[in-house]
C-alpha cells in the first residue's frame, strides 16, 4: 500500500498515535509508556517524527527518531506497511546526520517471534545486535501479576516515600535521574512535558526523600487499557542514587507502585530492561516477582 507521509504536526496528533499503538500492542514494545517517550526532547523536533496515512486520512503507522535512546520507535498497523515505514525512517535518520538530533548509529527492534518484521529488517540490511560475542544488546519484556503482594523492608529511619510534588519538584527530579543513570539525557523540558501528558498519573509518580531532604530514588508508573479491555501497568523509569542503593528503596518504590496500580484496577505490571535472563537487571526484577515474557531483538541500521 502506498501511504502518505507527513511530519508530526503537534500534540493534536498524539491521541491517534497512542490509540494505534494500544490497538497493536502485541507487536510493539512501547505503548504503555508512550507518554514518557512522547515527552522526550527529540520527539517534537522537526525532522524526528512522521506519520503515515491512507488515502482517507486514517493513521496507518508512524515513527520517531528518539535521539536520547539512539532508537527508532516504529509502529505499523498492517504488516505489509512495515517495510515502507522502515525505509522512510532510515532515510530520515540519514537526513539528521550532522545535526544535534542525529546519531552515528541508530537501532530499532522487534519481538523475537515477529518473523515478517525480522525478514524485512534483514532484507533491508539491518544487523541483529542481540547475539554478538561483544557489545550485544537484547531487551527483555517482563511481567508480574498485581494480585500478589511484594514483601518489602521498611524504609530506613528518616526516609519518606511520597508522590513527586509536580512541576515544583521537576528540577530536583532531573538532578536525581541524571545522577542515578549517569547521563544528562533527562532535561527539565522533558520532565515538565511528561507531567503535562494526559496519561500522567501523579499518584504513580513516586520518589523517596532522604533525611537530608534530597531525592534519593524514583519510580514512575503508567497504566493503559489493552485491546482485550484489561488495565495494565508499566514501570518506566525507575532509579536510585548509587549512594543509597542496597537500602531497600527500590523495593519499597516498586511495592507502593504495585499497590497503587492495583487500586486503580490494573491486573498486571510490565517492565522493560536491557540484558539477558542471567543479567543483574533481570535478576533484580525477578526477585520482585517479575518473569520473562518475551525477548525483544535489537537491530542496527545499516551505515
**What are the domain boundaries of the chain?**
4-104, 148-266
Q: Residue 42: its pLDDT value, please?
A: 98
Contacts of 61 (CB under 8 A, 6+ apart): 3, 20, 51, 52, 74, 75, 76, 77, 81, 82, 85
Total length of the chain: 303
In DSSP terms, 202 is beta-bridged to none
Which sign, positive or negative, has the C-alpha torsion 267, 145, 30, 83? negative
Relative to beta strand 231-240, strand 268-274 is parallel
Q: Residue 278: its pLDDT value, please?
A: 76
Q: Residue 178: its pLDDT value, please?
A: 98
Output phi, psi for 93, to 5 deg.
Answer: -60, -40
Question: Is residue 293 within 8 Å of residue 143, measured between CB atoms?
Answer: yes
Q: Residue 2: its pLDDT value, please?
A: 82
Helix (H, G, I), strand (E, B) or coil at 285: helix
Q: Per-residue DSSP letters for 20-86?
A: HHHHTGGG-S-STTHHHHTTSTTTTSTTTEEEEE-TT--EEEEEEEEGGGTEEEEEESSGGGHHHHH
Output phi, psi for 159, to 5 deg.
Answer: -90, 145
What's the rounded Cα separation, in Å, for the pair 114 and 287? 29
pLDDT along the chain (303 residues), means of 10: 92 97 95 97 97 96 98 97 96 96 97 97 96 92 96 94 98 98 97 97 98 98 95 97 96 97 98 84 92 96 85
Q: Residue 163: its pLDDT value, please?
A: 98
Q: Name which of 120, 121, 140, 133 is nearest 300 in CA terms.
A: 121
Helix (H) or strand (E) holding 291, with range, is strand 291-300
What's the rounded Cα separation, in Å, for the pair 175 and 191? 11
| CATH code at 148-266 | 3.40.630.30
Question: Is residue 253 within 8 Å of residue 161, measured between CB atoms?
Answer: yes
C-alpha cell at 139: 531487551
Q: Residue 1: its pLDDT value, please?
A: 59
What's the rounded Cα separation, in Å, for the pair 220 and 194? 10
Helix (H, G, I), strand (E, B) or coil at 252: helix
Helix (H) or strand (E) holding 256, with range, is helix 249-264
Q: Residue 153: its pLDDT value, please?
A: 85
Q: What share of the chain is helix, strand, coil (3-state, %, to 5)?
A: 35, 30, 40
Amino acid at each position: 500500500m502506498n501511504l502518505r507521509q507527513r511530519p508530526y504536526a503537534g500534540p493534536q496528533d498524539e491521541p491517534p498515535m497512542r490509540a494505534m499503538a494500544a490497538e497493536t500492542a502485541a507487536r510493539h514494545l512501547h505503548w504503555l509508556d508512550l507518554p514518557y517517550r512522547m515527552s522526550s526532547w527529540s520527539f517534537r523536533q522537526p525532522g524526528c517524527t512522521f506519520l503515515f496515512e491512507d488515502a482517507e486520512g486514517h493513521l496507518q503507522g508512524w515513527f520517531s527518531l528518539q535521539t536520547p535512546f539512539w532508537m527508532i520507535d516504529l509502529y505499523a498497523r498492517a504488516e505489509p506497511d512495515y517495510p515502507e515505514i522502515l525505509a522512510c525512517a532510515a532515510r530520515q535518520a540519514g537526513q539528521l546526520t550532522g545535526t544535534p538530533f542525529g546519531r552515528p548509529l541508530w537501532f530499532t527492534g522487534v519481538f523475537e517471534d515477529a518473523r515478517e518484521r525480522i525478514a524485512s529488517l534483514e532484507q533491508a540490511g539491518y544487523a541483529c545486535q542481540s547475539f554478538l560475542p561483544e557489545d550485544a544488546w537484547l531487551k527483555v519484556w517482563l511481567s508480574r501479576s498485581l494480585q500478589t503482594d511484594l514483601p518489602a523492608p521498611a524504609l530506613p529511619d528518616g526516609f519518606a516515600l511520597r508522590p513527586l510534588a509536580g512541576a515544583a519538584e521537576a528540577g530536583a527530579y532531573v538532578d536525581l535521574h541524571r545522577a542515578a543513570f549517569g547521563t544528562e539525557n533527562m532535561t527539565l523540558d522533558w520532565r515538565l512535558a511528561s507531567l503535562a501528558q494526559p496519561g500522567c498519573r501523579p499518584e504513580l509518580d513516586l520518589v523517596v526523600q532522604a533525611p537530608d531532604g534530597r531525592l534519593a530514588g524514583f519510580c514512575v508508573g503508567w497504566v493503559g487499557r489493552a485491546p482485550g479491555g484489561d488495565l495494565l501497568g508499566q514501570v518506566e523509569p525507575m532509579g536510585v542514587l548509587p549512594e543509597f542503593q542496597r537500602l531497600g528503596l527500590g523495593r519499597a518504590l516498586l511495592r507502593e507502585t504495585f499497590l497503587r496500580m492495583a487500586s486503580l484496577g490494573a491486573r498486571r505490571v510490565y517492565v522493560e530492561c536491557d540484558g539477558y535472563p542471567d543479567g543483574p537487571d533481570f535478576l533484580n526484577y525477578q526477585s520482585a516477582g517479575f518473569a520473562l515474557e518475551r525477548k525483544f531483538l535489537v537491530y542496527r541500521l545499516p551505515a
